[in-house]
Structure formats: C-alpha cells, structure tokens
C-alpha cells in the first residue's frame, strides 16, 4: 500500500495571457457529473473581473488591427492545439457532462470543427455583412462591419466545451476581445482551452477566462462600464433580466439566451457595429 498522496491540481484564471491565482486567494472544488472530485479551480473575485476587462480593452485595438487572415490563422492554430490534446479534453468533457468516452470524443470532434469554422469566417465577415451602397453623386459608399469592443460572456452552464467555444469564438472572430465567466460547475474544459491559447499565438488579453461563482461575478461584468456587449448564454430568464438591466446602465448590446437559438451567424452579427465610409471617385 502506497503512502503517496496525489498532487491535486488547482486550475488558474487566464488574464492578460498569464495564469494567476485569484487575488482573493480562494479556490473551490470541481466535481464530476457523478459527484467525484476532479480538481480545484480558482474562485475569481470582483477585482479579477475588473483586471480582465482592463486587459481586454488594452488588447482590443491590437487584435482588430491584425489582418482578418492573420486572426484566422491564430484561431486555426487553436484548433491544432485542441486536436493535439483531444484525449485530455475528452476526459474532462466526459467527467463534466457525464458522457461515455465515445460520446465525449464526438463532442470534442465537433468542438474542434467549430474552431475551424470560425477561423474560416474571419476574412469573410466584411463580404457577407458589409456592402457597397449606391449613392447619388461621385462617391463610393461602403458599409463596413467593425467590432463592438470588449464582450462579456456568461458561459453555458451545461455545455462545457461546445457551448463555451460558440460563445467566445463568435465575438473573437469578428475582432472583439472577450472576458468570459466559465461554467461554475463544469469549468475545466474551458480552462484547458485557455491554457492552449498560450501556444496558439493568441495575444495576451484577447481571451480572458474567469472561474468562480456566477451569481457573484456576473453582475460585476454586466455592470462594468468598459464592457460593450454581453452574452447571457449561461443564465436563466430571471437572472438574465436582472443582468440586462445592469447592462442597460452603460448601453451594452445584450444577447439573450433565447436569441442564440437563431444559430451561429446570429452570434457573428451580435457584437459588430456598421461603419459607413465615403470615398470620392477620381476623375
């Protein structure tokens, strides 16, 4: 009989490309769908959310300033990282959602395909959602989609990987930066994705992942005046209404859970603005 004790991992936050512990020093236990211990996760605080928003704001202009093709390369690199760690992802998805190994592998496969799908959209958004407008005069007039800025996401509480990726990749794809509050009960797959960004060329601050208690963190994110959009995928209708009211104080664009049923193109449209550009036609 061995006297050795297992080293229990405590997963950290992802803020500004680094993996800090919560400034509060707190952590909480993450259990499987069957109630067995899986790992510890940092219990994020209000200050962690504020730090993540500051990092996201600082990174947004740099991320949007990259070419659409380059953003697509970065997201495709994330898919490569996920493919190389698919067994680890499958294990955590299976534990979190109570899936059989075959079903967990299928979930991971769909998730990786989803990353590739979003990577392919980065340089197509302008063609699909923009336009060249007819005007009376010697001018070109273009409608160009531009990102809202910093998007806060309350991640799906049940779909620990597929839902999480849909919710964060859509705003990232169109040039936003993201602060996401991971699933409270099933955070480990999203944390693994955050770890992959370190070797996927994702600039620091572009994706920030906070773990902890949704009821404590979501109001802070919703009410933050430097957040431009809010995806409420992971909250029920009653709590979502409360968060939407908080968001209204700084005129955020809000994507409600029922709206997400329209599909992923709806998510791509959700956090962009339209800029109109006039240009004279040379003689």
Range of the domain at 240: 11-30+37-280
Identify the pLDDT of residue 264. 59
15 in a structural domain: yes
93 in a structural domain: yes
| H/E stretch holding 146 | strand 139-147
264 in a structural domain: yes
Tell me how many degrees the CA angle 145-148-152 measures, rounded to the nearest 5: 140
Would you call 31 exposed, middle or buried from its count of C-beta atoms within 10 A (0-12, 13-18, 19+)? middle
4 in a structural domain: no
258 in a structural domain: yes
pLDDT digits (tens, 9 = 90+) for 10-57: 999 999 999 999 999 999 999 999 999 999 999 999 999 999 999 999
Q: Decide: helix, strand or coil at residue 54.
A: helix
The two most distant CA atoms of the chain are separated, in Å, by 89
Identify the pLDDT of residue 180. 98
The CATH code of the domain that includes 153 is 3.40.605.10
Identify the pLDDT of residue 260. 44
Q: Looking at the 3D structure of the chain, how many domains does it have?
A: 1
pLDDT digits (tens, 9 = 90+) for 56-73: 999 999 999 999 999 999
5 in a structural domain: no
1 in a structural domain: no
Where do the H-state alpha helices sit in 85-204?
A: 86-97, 101-121, 125-129, 162-173, 188-196
Identify the pLDDT of residue 45. 96
Q: Are 93 and 193 in contact (CB under 8 A)?
A: no
Question: Would you write out the chain's pLDDT as a tens digit for each of its 283 residues?
Answer: 668 877 778 999 999 999 999 999 999 999 999 999 999 999 999 999 999 999 999 999 999 999 999 999 999 999 999 999 999 999 999 999 999 999 999 999 999 999 999 999 999 999 999 988 888 888 899 999 999 999 999 999 999 999 999 999 999 999 999 999 999 999 999 999 999 998 899 999 999 999 999 999 999 999 999 999 999 999 999 999 999 999 999 999 999 876 445 455 888 899 999 999 888 887 6
Chain position carrying tokens 């299976």: 94
Q: pTM (2 decimals)?
A: 0.92
Identify the pLDDT of residue 223. 96
6 in a structural domain: no
């Amino acid at each position: 009989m061995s006297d050795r004790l297992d080293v229990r991992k405590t997963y950290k936050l992802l803020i500004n490309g680094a993996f800090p512990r919560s400034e509060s020093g707190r952590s909480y236990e993450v259990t499987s769908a069957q109630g067995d211990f899986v790992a510890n996760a940092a219990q994020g605080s209000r200050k962690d959310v504020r730090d993540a928003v500051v990092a996201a704001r600082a990174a947004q202009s740099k991320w949007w300033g990259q070419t659409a093709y380059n953003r697509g390369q970065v997201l495709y690199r994330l898919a490569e990282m996920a493919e190389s760690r698919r067994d680890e992802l499958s294990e955590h998805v299976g534990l979190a959602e109570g899936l059989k190994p075959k079903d967990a592998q299928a979930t991971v496969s769909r998730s990786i395909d989803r990353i590739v799908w979003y990577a392919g959209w980065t340089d197509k958004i302008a063609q699909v959602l923009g336009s060249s407008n007819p005007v009376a005069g010697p001018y070109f007039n273009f409608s160009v989609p531009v990102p809202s800025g910093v998007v806060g996401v309350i991640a799906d509480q049940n779909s620990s990987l597929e839902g999480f990726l849909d919710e964060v990749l859509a705003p990232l794809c169109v040039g936003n930066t993201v602060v996401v509050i991971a699933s409270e009960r099933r955070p480990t797959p999203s944390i693994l994705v955050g770890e992959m960004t370190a070797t996927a060329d994702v600039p620091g601050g572009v994706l920030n992942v906070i773990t902890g208690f949704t009821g404590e963190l979501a109001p802070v994110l919703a009410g933050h005046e430097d957040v431009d959009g809010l995806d409420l995928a992971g909250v029920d209708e009653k709590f979502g209404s409360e968060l939407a009211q908080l968001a209204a104080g700084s005129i955020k664009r809000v994507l409600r859970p029922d709206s997400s049923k329209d599909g992923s193109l709806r998510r791509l449209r959700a956090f962009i603005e339209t800029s109109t550009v006039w240009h004279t036609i040379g003689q």
